[in-house]
Every structure is written in C-alpha cells, then in structure tokens.
Amino acid sequence: MLSFGKKKIFALDIGSYSIKLIELNSSKKGYQLANMASVPLPPEAIVDGALMDTGAIVDAIRNLISSAGVKGGDVAVSVSGHSVIIKKISLPAMTENELADSIQWEAEQYIPFDIADVNLDFQILGPNAVDQTQIDVLLVAAKKEIIDDYTAVIAEAGLNAVVIDIDAFAAQNMVEINYPAEEGEVVATVNVGAELSNINIVKDGVSLFTRDVANGGNQFTEEIQKRFGVSYENADAAKLGGEVEGVDADEVKEVLQEVSGLLSSEIARTIDFFMATNPEDSVRKAYICGGGAKTEGLDKSLADKLGVPVEVVNPFSAISYNEKNFDPEYLDDVAPSFGVAVGLAIRREGD
C-alpha cells in the first residue's frame, strides 16, 4: 500500500485501568476515526505511574493491537504523574537555537531531580509581559527512567514509540479540536483517570498551568471496597452499576456522591489556587474527560465548587466515523475515557 505525506502513527494511552488505542485519518474534511479499541489492565500492573508488571502490559498491548487489526508500527504515547515536571519560567531573551543549547543549564534550578536523569523539552511562549528583556518558556522535564520504561514495553510489543507526550497536553489537544475556545478565553481541561486527575489551564492554545492530583476513579472504587468489604474488581463493577452480592446500589450512589464532593473539592482547590495567583486569567469553563469523568454527579459537583460550567467532553464530536464500523451508542458511552488517546492520535512525528 502506498502512503503519502507523513508516516502514519496511532495512539496508545497506557493507563493504569486500561490501555486505549486510537487511529485517525485526516483529510480536508477533517478527522475520521480509523480504529479504536481498549483492553483492561490488572490493578497491580501500573502503580503510582510506575510500570510494575511489564509482562502483563506487553501482553495487553499485543492483545489490543491484534484485536484492532494493527500489525505494528509507530505509536504516540504519553506519560504523567510525579515523574513529570511542567513549569513556566522566564529567561533572558534568546533564540530557539540558543535555548536548545543552554536549556540543560537553564533548567537545572527549576527541576527537583538530577538534570542528568531527565529528558527536557521546552516551548518559547513569547516575550514576558512585565519585563521585555525576558521570554516566557514552558519547560517540560520527564524522568528518563519512565520514558525508558514506556519505550521498552512498546518495543517489546513490536511497536516503535515516536511521540512521547504528556497526558495533560494530549487532553488539551483533544479539547481544542472538539471545542474551539474564543480568543483570550481561559478554560481548564481535567482528565479524571483511575489513579490521577491531570489538570491543565489553557489560554489561546497555550498551557498556563498544569498539575496532577493523585486521585481519580480509584478513589470511588476504594471507598466502595472499604464500605462493603468487597474486592477491587467487585467494587469497580458495583460502581459501574453492576449487581454485586453484599453491595447495596443505593448506598453506592451515596458513596459516589460523597467521594465526588471530595474529588471535586481537590480539583477546584488547584484551579482556585491558579486563579488566586493569576487574577487576570479567570477560568471560564472546565472540560472533563477520562473514565472518571463519567461518575454520576462529578460534573455537577465540580461546577458548584468552581462556579463555572463543567462539560463532560465527547472526544469524537469533531471526528466523523462510519456507523457500520463503530456503534454510535457504544462510542458515546465510552467516549470520555478516550480523551487522551484522541489527543495523542492527532500528534505527528516531530511535533
């Protein structure tokens, strides 16, 4: 088969709850969904962002790509959590090339890890608003260890990681194509996963602030586990509306409401902290994605706390697909959990 233009890549969002695969085609008419699939991971495979059981992860990726009918190739993946540091810093004005040469040295004081242990990336945001002799730079540092671990499992599964992104940026990317913001409008994207919630505050396509909160869908599951003395698997099933012996569905609803209050408070506190220190950049709207975004009442609870509208996003709203290949009802149901994967699937090598 011939392929024109840049080499095709597909997205693999390796989450602690499940691995998601998305492949998009792009044409003048926009994006079309070419492939989507997901596979669950055992709860102990990824813990605190660390790839603990690489065998299980590699097996899961192999199953996933074979069920999706993908043979091999180039993939985009993303990382998040405490191995990743994202900071906006100000530096004396210099060119992109000059900064590329000196970033290692410039970044040292901002990174709490040994600079030799991290991969650095940066984006020049523009001149500093207050001091014109300075430029604002978005600094991104990820521990080599985590990058190496991800690259290794991808390679072991017969694939090649050509893009390594950050979850919060992928979610931003996905929201930008589906819900274009007005000029100057400040919005928050919140990817509520299982272990983590990635918060990103964005204006005019630029990330102003990111933070990962160490809570997500697992917080609900763990509370159900404790309350009813059931296994993680049963607690998760009960959370998703399944019938589980010894678990009362009405009580589950109460737990969901309680924990929604806790999680949304934690997320709102982080966003409020940003707004208190950046009064000129008031967040107008929040978009939530990730499997946890589907928790009943979480959107309302967050909207109450933030005092701005909160929308559960559909990452496929700007993506067309053939209803013969993809069931619209299923797609709508699982859509939020594919937020990061869709954002990654838009990336191209060299981005």
**Interface pick for ligand ATP out of 9, 10, 11, 16 (rule CB under 6 A):** 16
Gap between the Cα atoms of 76 and 347, Å rounded: 7
**120 and 160 in contact (C-beta within 8 Å)?**
no
- Does residue 81 belong to the site contacting Mg ion (CB under 5 A)? no
- Does residue 193 belong to the site contacting Mg ion (CB under 5 A)? yes
Gap between the Cα atoms of 26 and 61, Å rounded: 24
- Binding window for Mg ion (CB under 5 A); candidates: 60-68, 187-195, 254-262, 277-285: 187-195
- Does residue 343 belong to the site contacting ligand ATP (CB under 6 A)? no
- Does residue 15 belong to the site contacting ligand ATP (CB under 6 A)? yes
- Binding window for Mg ion (CB under 5 A); candidates: 22-30, 32-40, 189-197, 207-215: 189-197
- Does residue 234 belong to the site contacting ligand ATP (CB under 6 A)? no
Of 1-20, binders to Mg ion (CB under 5 A) are: 15
Give the nearest distance from C-beta 345 to Mg ion in angstroms.
14
Half-sphere exposure of 11 (CA within 13 A, CB side): 32
Would you say 77 or 141 has its CB closer to ligand ATP?
Answer: 77
- Give the length of the chain: 351
Instruction: Spell out the residues 6+ positions from residue 126 whose beta carbon is closer than 8 angstroms to its own.
Output: 135, 136
- Total residues contacting ligand ATP by CB under 6 A comes to 21
- Total residues contacting Mg ion by CB under 5 A comes to 2
Beta strands in the chain (DSSP E): 9-14, 18-27, 30-40, 46-47, 50-51, 73-79, 84-92, 118-127, 134-143, 159-166, 186-192, 197-203, 206-213, 285-289, 310-312, 319-320
Would you say 51 or 118 has its CB closer to ligand ATP?
Answer: 51
Give the nearest distance from C-beta 240 to ligand ATP in angstroms.
5
Instruction: Spell out the residues 6+ positions from residue 96 whose beta carbon is closer than 8 angstroms to its own.
Output: 124
- Does residue 210 belong to the site contacting ligand ATP (CB under 6 A)? no
- Does residue 217 belong to the site contacting Mg ion (CB under 5 A)? no
Gap between the Cα atoms of 15 and 296, Å rounded: 21
Chain residues in the site for ligand ATP (CB under 6 A) = 15-18, 193-196, 216-218, 221, 236, 239-240, 290-292, 294-295, 337
State the residues that interact with Mg ion by CB under 5 A.
15, 193
